[in-house]
Amino acid sequence: MVNLSQRKSTSALQKARVGSTIVLAGWVEKSKHLGKLAFINLRDREGYAQIVANEKFLGLKSLKDLTRESVVAVKGKVKTSKAKSGGKELELVELDVLNRAAVPLPIEFLGGKVETDMSKRLDYRYLDLRNPRVFAIFKVRSVMLNAIHKFFRDNEFLEMQTSKISEAGAEGGAELFELPYFKKKVALNQSQQLYKQLIMISGFEKAYEIGTSYRAEKSHTHRHLTEFWQLDVEMSFLDGIKDIMSVQERLIVSVLRAVKKEAKSELELLKVNLNVPKLPFPKINHSDACKLLGLKQGTDIGTEAERKLGAIVKRKYKTDAFFLINLPENLTKFYAMHDDGIGRYVDLIYKNNEISSGGQREHRYDILINQIRNKKLKPKDLEFYTTPFKYGAPPHGGFGMGIDRLLTFILDLPNVREGVLFPRDVERTGP
C-alpha cells in the first residue's frame, strides 16, 4: 500500500532530488503503452507529472486496464525526464488504484479543452472543474477573495455576518423569493442593505461582509444569477460619496495587483493580460453621461448604455474603471441622501459593466419620512426600516459589489456562470 501520509504535490516533484523516492496521488489524465514501457500522465491541483513504468514494475500489464480519470496513488523514484520539455519524472515502484473511473466519461476535457456546451458542463460540474483551465478560474477567485479580506482588515473594517432571511425585503418588489417558514412567509434577502445600515446605527463605524443575495431575476443574461455573492461595505461619519469612491478604487487596485502577482500562472493559462487602472478613477456625472450618450436627462443607464459609456470613457481616459455618480431623483430610492434633487449615488463601471452600486444614505428621520412620502410609499409600511433612525443614526453610506461579476470582468469571461461553482438561474437549481 502506498502511504498517503507521505504524499507530495506534482510541483514538489520538480523540486525533489534525483534518485529520491516520493509519493504522488491524483487523477490519470491519460496513460499510454509502448512495448515494455507505460506512461501515466498524473494530474493534481498543482499540475501534471509524468510517471514511467518499465519492465521492473511488476504490475506493468495491469496498467492496460487503468481508465482515464481514475484516482491513483503512486510511489516512485525521481528521474530526470528525457522528454523535450525537461523537468523531472517518476519511475514507478508501486501503484494503488484508489478509485477506478467508469468508461466513457460523460464530458470530455482532455488537454484543457472546453468543448462541451455550458449547460452540460454544469450538469457534470464536478468533472468540468477537473479541467485545469476551469479550475484556474477558481484559484483566481480564491486569490481575489483573500485580497478583499486583507484590504478590509488592513483598513480596520469589522467583518459582519447578517441573516439572509427576513420578513420584508428592504427594497421590496417582484424579484423577491418567498418561502414558507413555519406559520409565516419569509423572503430571501435581495441585498444586505437594511442590515448593514442597522449595524452603522449600532456603532460598528466600518463594516464589510461577503455573502449571498437572492433575486428572482427572470432574465437570461451573461451577468445575472438568482443567487450571487456580494461584497457589502458600509461606513459611518463619511464626508459625502468621495469617501465611498476612495475605498472602492483602492480596493480594486489592491485586488488586481494581488491577482496579477499571486495568480500569475493562472492568468497565463487563461490568456488574460490584466491592466491595473490608475488612481483616481474618472468620475462621470449622470447628467454628463446622458449628454455623452445622447440620452434624455434622467434616463436609467442600463446594460447597453453602460457598454457604450465604457467605450467612450476608455477612449477619453484610457481606463477600464470609472464611477458614474449623482443620480436624478426620478431614479433614486427613498433611502438615498439628496442635494437639491440629486441623489448621492455611485456606480462603479469596470470593463463596460456595472460591478457595484452605492451611495450615502439619508440618516435624518424627518427627511427620510418626507422622502418616503415623495416616492408615494407609505411610512407605516417601512417602519421596520425607519424606526431605528429615531435613536441616533450617524451619517453613513457604502456600496454593494458583485463578487461574481468582478471575477467575470477581471478574467474577461463570457458569462458570470463560468466563475461560480454551482450557479443558480431561472432553469438551473442543481447540482
* Residues engaged in binding Mg ion (CB under 5 A): 357
Q: Answer with the entry of ligand ATP, Mg ion, none that 323 interacts with (C-beta below 5 to 8 A by kind).
A: none
Binding map of ligand ATP across residues 52-91, x = CB under 6 A, - = no contact:
----------------------------------------
CA distance 217 to 89: 51
- Would you say 247 or 270 has its CB closer to Mg ion? 247
CB of 378 to ligand ATP, least distance (A): 23
One-letter amino acid of 86 = G
Instruction: Provide the strand spans (E) within 321-362.
Output: 321-328, 338-339, 342-350, 353-361
Binding of ligand ATP at residue 356 (CB under 6 A)? yes
DSSP assignment, residue 420? S
- Would you say 53 or 420 has its CB closer to ligand ATP? 420
Q: Answer with the entry of Mg ion, ligand ATP, none that 215 interacts with (C-beta below 5 to 8 A by kind).
A: ligand ATP
φ, ψ (nearest 5 deg) of residue 328: -65, 155
CA distance 281 to 350: 10
Cis peptide before 280 (omega within 30 of 0): yes
Total residues in contact with ligand ATP, by rule CB under 6 A:
17
- Would you say 27 or 177 has its CB closer to ligand ATP? 177
Contacting residue, 206, 224, 344, 417, with ligand ATP by CB under 6 A:
224
3-state secondary structure (DSSP) of residue 9: coil
Binding of ligand ATP at residue 192 (CB under 6 A)? no
Q: Which residue is nearest to ligand ATP (CB)?
A: 402
Angle between helices 403-410 and 241-262 (to 10 degrees): 50
Contacting residue, 75, 121, 215, 338, with ligand ATP by CB under 6 A:
215
- Would you say 69 or 404 has its CB closer to ligand ATP? 404
3-state secondary structure (DSSP) of residue 53: strand
Region near ligand ATP per CB under 6 A, out of 58-66, 144-152, 222-230, 324-332: 222-230
Q: Answer with the entry of Mg ion, ligand ATP, none that 355 interacts with (C-beta below 5 to 8 A by kind).
A: ligand ATP
Mode of pairing for the β-strands spanning 396-402 and 7-8: unpaired
Q: Which residue is nearest to Mg ion (CB)?
A: 357
Q: Answer with the entry of ligand ATP, Mg ion, none that 402 interacts with (C-beta below 5 to 8 A by kind).
A: ligand ATP
- Would you say 21 or 357 has its CB closer to ligand ATP? 357
Binding of ligand ATP at residue 404 (CB under 6 A)? yes
CB of 213 to ligand ATP, least distance (A): 7
Residue 388: other Cβ atoms inside 10 A: 17
CA distance 12 to 426: 44
Contacting residue, 188, 247, 355, 410, with ligand ATP by CB under 6 A:
355
What does the angle CA 219 – CA 415 – CA 261 come to, to the nearest 5 degrees? 140
Helix or strand run (H / E) with residue 260: helix 241-262
Contacting residue, 405, 413, 419, 423, with ligand ATP by CB under 6 A:
405
By C-alpha distance, which of 412, 404, 384 is closest to 217? 404
How many helices and strands (H and E) does the chain possess?
A: 12, 18
Classify burial at 262, counting beta carbons within 10 Å of its beta carbon; exposed 0-12, middle 13-18, buried 19 or more: middle
Binding of ligand ATP at residue 217 (CB under 6 A)? yes
CB of 388 to Mg ion, least distance (A): 24
One-letter amino acid of 73 = A
Residues in the site for ligand ATP, rule: CB under 6 A?
Answer: 191, 215, 217, 224-225, 228, 230, 354-357, 400-402, 404-405, 416
